[in-house]
Structure formats: C-alpha cells, structure tokens
Amino acid sequence: MKNMVEMRAELIDVWQGIRSGKVDINEGIVLAHLAGRIIGTAKTEIDFARGRKQRPNIAFLDCAPAITEPATIEHNPAKAIGKAKR
C-alpha cells in the first residue's frame, strides 16, 4: 500500500473477509493494529511540524480520496466477530 486511500481499501477488504469467514479474525486484528501504528506515525509527524509552524510533506497522506460517497458498510463488530472462523 502506498497511501491512505489504498490502506483504507485494504482494511475494507479485510473487514469484508472477516465477515465472510475468508479472513481469520486474528489476522484482521493484527492488520488493524498495524494500520493504527502507521496512522499514529503520520499524526506524530503532523504534530511535530505544527509545533514548528511548518507544513509537513507526508507522501502517505498526499492523495485524493477515492471514496466520494458515505460508506455503506454496516458497522456491527459483534455481528462480524460472530461470523468469523476461530
């Protein structure tokens, strides 16, 4: 994945894989954790630049969103976890 849009698309694919039973829930947990770490590093970079009154150049965030309409994915983690293979 090269940018935030690709990461979002990949996470949506993982979410759907968990719901369908094609992706193990533990793999989904690890990927979500890693995505959070990646986002956290970008936030740290932004905060550091803001403190120096600079504008950061973060290639990972430098992309146009591919999603123009609100997501239609049902947000029901309990339902997804119940369907996942253990």
pLDDT at 15: 92
Residue 18 CB burial class (10 angstroms; 0-12, 13-18, ≥19): buried
Instruction: Give the whole-angstrom CA distance, residue 22 versus residue 83.
Output: 10
Which residues of the chain are modeled with pLDDT < 70? 64-86
Closest CA relative to residue 74, chosen from 21, 12, 25: 12
pLDDT at 63: 72
pLDDT at 86: 47
40 backbone dihedrals φ, ψ, rounded to 5°: -60, -40
Q: Are 4 and 59 in contact (CB under 8 A)?
A: no
pLDDT at 34: 93
